[in-house]
Structure 1
Amino acid sequence: MISAGTTFTLLGFSEYPGLQVPLFLVFLTVYMVTVVGNLGMIMIISISPKLHTPMYFFLCQLSFVDFCYSTTVTPKLLENLVVEDRTISFIGCITQFFLACIFGVAETFMLAVMAYDRFVAVCNPLLYTVVMSQKFCASLVAGPYTWGIVSSLILTYSLLALSFCGSNIINNIFCDHSTIVSISCSDPYISQVLCFIITIFNEASSLVIFLTTYIFIFVTVIKIPSASGCQKGLSTCASHLTAIAIFYGTILFLYCVPNSKNSWLTVKLGSIFYTVVTSMLNPLIYSLRNKDVKESVKKLMNYSIQFC
């Protein structure tokens, strides 16, 4: 059984001692951009009346999830790059997994909610303000958070039922389900089955939402007679499609990694991209490709200059 003194060791990139400082600087820069980008996006959307629409409300929630997701993983990663003692307590490890699971699941379905929002905006523009009411938007946002908490509680409880003995070395950058299960000295079958079921449900259901909404969007757009109208319809979905492509591309990449010792570095790099880099890219994607956001940033900067 698990004792209060049980500890794990996060190997991270310890097998590359000469790269510890460069990696620390790289990940610190990425994390700083993530924090500034996501919190900046939340602030801009909150103070700009022009951005008080359902689309930006969901984008604000996505930025919050990205910030929390990255903050759950990155600080410990940075610490392990500059200290020799890379241990983490069992409670700390389980807490990290619990939070990462919540925000990982929430991000999956937050992107699905944003896909539905684009579907209503493109396919039913006249009914958009009626359908996407403030109460309905709040309900759509509550769904990903609620299911994220439920999923995380189920999986965390299944991990708490496991026993650990011997060498508790986690060969990854953070405490994820597969690595925690791999070092257990008890039968992890139930925990693995639960993880498989929840993962398949999450990925399959969100993918169905993405494909269905964008099929309808594509059919609607190609029926628009004017080229400018068609281009405008597609441009409203471009940023969201880019975010989905990066998110699911990374997931598919991780699932396709062969199960061998040589694949651990690839898994770590994939985990870095999935948990750290993606959280940085989302606000950049939406700010660089979004005219309204760029205009709001310019107005905020001009106001700040005048105020100073």
Structure 2
Amino acid sequence: MLNRYNFDPNKVDEKFKVTLDKVLDEKVDEFEARKLIPFSSASDGMDIATDVIIYREWAGKFKAIVSDELINDIPFVNTGEEKKYARTFVITSGYKFTVQDIQLIASGKKDPEREIRTAVNSVADRENDLLLYGDDVLGGRIGLFTVEGKRLYASTLNLATATGIEIVNELVRVSKEFTTGIKGKYEPLIFAVHQDIYYKFLEVYNSDANSDLDSLTVIERKNLFGSIQMVKNLISPTTGEAGAIVLDAKQENYEFKEIIAPRTFEYEIKREIEGGVELKDSEVMAYRPESIMEVTFAGYPA
């Protein structure tokens, strides 16, 4: 789900991929959809749109924006007799090579992949924002952090001063609360955290033991969460500070569908090359709110 800052930030974790053909036969009215699915203007069998709305013009390069909104015919939830449909959002970014850049590229003195990666990463950032926080402008879309009914675990631990042992003990409580703190079957799959929290986890677990073992390694060995992911600038809407969120692994509690991968393209204007990136590695996502738990801490690293 969350675009990770690794070798390929556009790929979705395999653990999140499930099919959409199963029937959600209980509490469908409690599902809130996170809708971000791709479209295709090419003849590759993915032309699912029935209507196209130009949402924003592509006003500038290098900054990812939502350029189009498409209303399509993929239903994602039925509530009584009301049928709702997912929407498509095309997220676009771009890069530019001047004549001088092209000469440097030809001579091997400039790496064109850097600009392309920057553009792709900016699209990944924009997608994360939509998934986590939604967008009031985009038809009132709801994000994982802003959905009504999600759980909240307010930790009294001050991360700024906590020892490694205190951090691990607190995360044992967080995992236990997520798994058993509400009626139902829940299994923590991903613990996504702000970079400051993540780096705090990397500090030495026990300074008295004369070891360089960090808290993150201890947490992973205890298998408290499926994985711990760092998400750049993950801010809690509850506290306005560094945020953290736990997401469920039980397939009856969410639906997810990855469609197709991003596409890059280039065109020439007055001997200068401009390129664009459209992120199509997106999804239809629906979560039971109680299968999402925000975690706040009394303090966090400065």
Please state which band the TM-score falls in when normalised by the shorter chain: under 0.3
Q: Which has the higher helix share?
A: 1
TM-score (norm 2): 0.23
How does the TM-score come out when normalised to structure 1? Answer: 0.23
Greater strand share, structure number: 2
